[in-house]
Amino acid sequence: METIARNLALWRAGRGEFFSRLGIPFPGWGQIGLSLDGPRLECAEEVLSRYRIPYTVQGGPTVSETPLWKTASSALEASSLGYPPEETAHILSQPWIAPEGFPLSDSLRRGPQGEKGWREYLETHGDKRVLSFFNGMTAFVSVIEGGGSPSRLLRALRDLAGTDGHSGPGLSLSRFIIDYPPLDETARRLNAALKELEQKMEQMSEMESGIGPAGSEVLQGNDAVAFLSAWSERSTIWQPPKTRDSLNIYVENPPVLARHRVFLVTGLTAEAWPGRLQESPLLGDRHKEAIHNDPNTALSPSHLPLLREKRIQREALLLRMIASADEVCIGSRPNQDSSGRPLQPSGFIASALSRTPPWIVETGSDPPFSRSMKDVIPGDEDPSIEGIEARTSDPPRSPARLSMIPPPTPWPEGLPKRVQASGIDTWKECPFRFYAGRVLGMERSRPWGFDPARAGNVAHALWDKVWGERMATGEKLTDLAQSHWERAVIDHYPELVQFPRHLGRLKEQTLRMASLQQEMDDEGLAEARVNQKREQLIEMETDGVLFRGKFDRIDLLSDGSALLFDYKTGRGDNLNNSLQLPAYALMLQSASDIEVSGYAYLSQADLSITGRLDGLAGEALPGWRKSSRTGLKEMVSRARETVMAMAKAVMESSFPPNYSNVNVCRYCEYQDLCRRKESVGAAPAEDDGNVD
């Protein structure tokens, strides 16, 4: 449809494929007809409006395509789901229901659910019109479930629309669309559907009184929905008079006497012409022919159509549509379906060309014009329509209306521009994951069982207590860890005793870590250390954003430098490039001018030390000093660049998902929110056990 509209607009300007291939001047919009199937009407109207092509729809859309039936069917679906927050909120936020506005964001945040929950919410947060509509919506559902005569069902639909004389949306809606002209046609169709409903009600009332007991037949549940749905799909709404010099659109088949100088037939695929013709499963063609040939059936003059006759009928219908063109008929078809599968052309076209004499004659040169997806954006040598299309080399345009759209990841209202520096690695891996977890605080609900996060709290509390006593008394870390273990578990994770396997494993790893730290102290760290700080908060402001961090442990060395430590209950496999401690080093240097000579992650699961050691820190711990391509200064420099990028993201409220990080996406709990899961499969999540 896009290709047709574009070339029609170019033809009018004396350019494009139609002009160069047909060699005839543009005939005027009133001399052009266009045939398409019903489901594509909405798309065709959107495309024609965008290319500013005047058009008139012959026959009009059905009631099922108007807000009247779309809202009614949505109300029935919402009721079957128990009036969930999102679906119900979007129903109530429609302009024709709430022309004065609806608190959509607030309702999605509060999440009212169920009929009672929504009624209580609307009584305190919505206006009377919206509450009245919700009451009408529940009443409509009650009528459908309880059942009624056809006229009663139609009255219930009318009452849902608020046309009972005291709650109609007309005046308020008219005022609303003054500022939104594109909604004018939607409002017209809504009113036209209501008029069609009133006429049907009058006809049904007269019919029910004249057909006796059948008129009082009660339809309920699925039968009631089927009745209203069938009426909405078969009833067309009134269309305004045809405007002068406008393109004529015919939905499905044009009238028999329709004639135009140029006629366009769309959808010429084998899928549509002839379509999927199949024999009846109960009465195949062989049995039909036997019935036709049996003189005892007395079937004449009736005839049971055979499969080949149905195909001939479809072919004759297409040829008649082609004959609606007095001069030129332009046929078009999609090359592939919505899933990307190729579509074959209709065989009727080749048949029409090969007839003797031929029904149609090819014109416009060979091969037929084809436009692929890569040609959607015009190249530098191709013609383009100013104000509608843009070439690949054109500078990007930002329509003014985009400024009205809130960012997809807005910073929560009233929340200070403050972030935890411990989330720097999460932000680097995927900004959206950082936003969902660290900014919005959305946590994955864990099933009952062992909780690695609370186990990490036990370890952190234990090391704070143990190191406090060692600095005061000089006792060995292994003895202190053994003596304080049970109290740390009771105070911070008493349920851990219900999981003896995890309790034993965690205790063993903790005591091994105590031995490792004692070994580090004995090798020279204790001699180089002059003081120690633990669980200390530190802050740094960057470009208007406040970064906060909390050190697990800082050893202040005799040369005035600092050695930073962070405890991890998991493994240290992926910590070599972590920027958490480099960011802490940056913050410490910024806040106190203390030079950092090293940092180390102490991982209990594999008893590993990961980090960078320079200067006195490296001299005090020579056995743990490892060569690396990126030294301490470079890691701190990387942290500085990342912190500045984070600050910019916070100020701009921009946290796009990083779909390319497959390893992180695989186990991310926010795939349903960032929507990556819709196109890429993911394995079930696992917990790596690391705790900041």
Average pLDDT over residues 252-274: 89
Query: Would you state the pLDDT for residue 163?
Result: 56
In Å, how far from its chain's centre is CA 323? 44
325-363 pLDDT, tens digit per residue, is: 999 999 999 888 877 888 898 988 889 888 888 888 888
Are residues 163 and 201 part of one domain?
yes
Is the confidence at residue 193, as pLDDT, over 90?
no
Select from 355, 375, 395 the last residue of a domain. 375
Average pLDDT over residues 441-445: 77
Are residues 52 and 67 part of one domain?
no
Query: Would you state the pLDDT for residue 241?
Result: 76
Fill in the amino acid letter for 115. E
Are residues 84 and 22 part of one domain?
no
Tokens matching residue 232: 């909405």
Query: Would you state the pLDDT for residue 690?
Result: 41
Q: Report the range of poorest mean pLDDT among 115-119, 281-285, 563-567.
A: 281-285
Query: Would you state the pLDDT for residue 177?
Result: 58
Fill in the amino acid letter for 625. R
Query: Would you state the pLDDT for residue 79?
Result: 93
Query: Would you state the pLDDT for residue 127?
Result: 77
Spatial CB neighbours of 623, under 8 Å, sequence gap ≥ 6 = 523
Spatial CB neighbours of 525, under 8 Å, sequence gap ≥ 6 = 555, 563, 620, 621
Query: Would you state the pLDDT for residue 373?
Result: 74
Q: How confident is the model at residue 442 (pLDDT cuts 50, 70, 90)?
A: confident
Q: Which residue has the higher pLDDT, 181 or 520?
A: 520
Average pLDDT over residues 556-580: 93
395-433 pLDDT, tens digit per residue, is: 776 666 666 667 788 899 889 999 999 999 999 999 999
Q: Is the residue at 622 inside a domain?
A: yes
Q: Is the residue at 677 inside a domain?
A: no
Q: Is the residue at 442 inside a domain?
A: no
Q: How confident is the model at residue 306 (pLDDT cuts 50, 70, 90)?
A: confident
Can you spell out the DSSP letters for 373-428?
GGGSS--TTS---TTT---TTSPP---GGGGGSPPSSPPPTT--SEEEGGGHHHHH
Q: Is the residue at 171 inside a domain?
A: yes
Is the confidence at residue 515, as pLDDT, over 90?
yes
Query: Would you state the pLDDT for residue 538?
Result: 93
621-672 pLDDT, tens digit per residue, is: 998 888 778 899 999 999 999 999 999 999 999 999 998 888 888 888 888 8
Q: Look at residues 581, 600, 569 and name the one whose alpha carbon lies nearest to residue 458.
A: 569
Range of the domain at 352: 2-59+242-278+306-375
- Sheet with 55-58, edge to edge strand ranges: 55-58, 247-251, 32-36, 260-265, 325-331
Query: Would you state the pLDDT for residue 455?
Result: 92
Are residues 209 and 173 part of one domain?
yes
Q: Is the residue at 106 inside a domain?
A: yes
Tokens matching residue 481: 């860890």
Q: Look at residues 1, 2, 8, 18 and name the one whose alpha carbon lies nearest to residue 368.
A: 18
In Å, how far from its chain's centre is CA 361? 47
Q: Look at residues 561, 551, 552, 536 and name the one whose alpha carbon lies nearest to residue 618.
A: 561
Average pLDDT over residues 544-555: 95
Q: Is the residue at 568 inside a domain?
A: yes
Query: Would you state the pLDDT for residue 686?
Result: 37
Query: Would you state the pLDDT for residue 446?
Result: 64
Are residues 344 and 254 part of one domain?
yes
Mean pLDDT of the chain: 86
Are residues 467 and 606 part of one domain?
yes
Are residues 604 and 540 part of one domain?
yes
Q: Which residue has the higher pLDDT, 45 or 175?
A: 45
Q: Which residue has the higher pLDDT, 248 or 443?
A: 248
Residue 232 CA to residue 71 CA, distance in Å, equals: 12
Q: What is the CATH number for 261?
A: 3.40.50.300
Torsion sign over Cα 68, 71, 74, 76: negative
Q: Is the residue at 294 inside a domain?
A: no
Torsion sign over Cα 614, 610, 638, 529: negative
Kindly state the helix (H) or strand (E) to which residue 115 belongs, with its residue range: helix 114-125
447, burial (CB in 10 Å: exposed 0-12, middle 13-18, buried 19+): exposed
Q: What is the CATH number for 470?
A: 3.90.320
Tokens matching residue 38: 């019903």
Are residues 554 and 512 part of one domain?
yes
Q: Domain total for the chain?
A: 3
Residue 235 CA to residue 199 CA, distance in Å, equals: 11
Tokens matching residue 683: 């394995």
Q: Report the range of poorest mean pLDDT among 200-209, 560-569, 617-626.
A: 200-209
Are residues 583 and 465 part of one domain?
yes
Residue 573 CA to residue 606 CA, distance in Å, equals: 9
Q: Look at residues 652, 421, 440, 622 and name the one whose alpha carbon lies nearest to residue 541.
A: 421
The position carrying tokens 């480099």 is: 582
Is the confidence at residue 684, as pLDDT, over 50?
no
Is the confidence at residue 280, as pLDDT, over 60?
yes
Q: Look at residues 413, 635, 634, 652 and name the one whose alpha carbon lies nearest to residue 545.
A: 652
Select from 346, 375, 404 the last residue of a domain. 375
Spatial CB neighbours of 75, under 8 Å, sequence gap ≥ 6 = 91, 137, 140, 141, 160
Classify residue 33 by its DSSP letter.
Answer: E
Q: What's the length of the chain?
A: 692
Average pLDDT over residues 55-80: 88
What per-residue string of b and e applies to 481-504 under the rule 16 or more CB within 10 Å gives b?
A: beebbeebbeebbeebeebeebbe
Classify residue 358 by its DSSP letter.
Answer: -
Classify residue 447 by its DSSP letter.
Answer: P
Report how far apart, in Å, the C-alpha atoms of 281 and of each of 14, 285, 306, 342, 411 are. Answer: 54, 10, 13, 29, 60
For a pLDDT cut of 90, what percent of the chain falls above it?
46
The 3-state secondary structure of 241-310, one letter per residue: CCCCCCEEEEECCCCCCCCEEEEEECCCECCCCCCCCCCCCCCCHHHHHHHHHCHHHCCCCCCCCCHHHH
Select from 375, 402, 434 the last residue of a domain. 375
- Does the reported pTM lie above 0.75? no
The secondary structure of the chain in percent helix, strand, coil, rounded to multiples of 5, reads 50, 10, 35
205, burial (CB in 10 Å: exposed 0-12, middle 13-18, buried 19+): middle
Q: Are 376 and 335 in contact (CB under 8 A)?
A: no
Residue 145 CA to residue 226 CA, distance in Å, equals: 12
Q: Look at residues 517, 581, 519 and name the one whose alpha carbon lies nearest to residue 549.
A: 581
In Å, how far from its chain's centre is CA 534? 45
Are residues 116 and 36 part of one domain?
no
Q: Is the residue at 667 inside a domain?
A: no
Q: Look at residues 512, 584, 586 and name the one whose alpha carbon lies nearest to residue 552.
A: 584
119-138 pLDDT, tens digit per residue, is: 999 998 877 888 888 999 99
C-alpha dihedral, 663 to 669 to 670 to 672, nearest 10°: 100
Query: Would you state the pLDDT for residue 682?
Result: 42
Tokens matching residue 321: 């549509």
Average pLDDT over residues 527-544: 94
Q: Which residue has the higher pLDDT, 614 or 391?
A: 614
C-alpha dihedral, 498 to 504 to 506 to 512, nearest 10°: 160
Residue 692 CA to residue 689 CA, distance in Å, equals: 10
452-506 pLDDT, tens digit per residue, is: 889 999 999 999 999 999 999 999 999 999 999 999 999 999 999 999 999 999 9
Kindly state the helix (H) or strand (E) to which residue 150 belongs, with its residue range: helix 150-160
Are residues 468 and 364 part of one domain?
no
Are residues 620 and 498 part of one domain?
yes
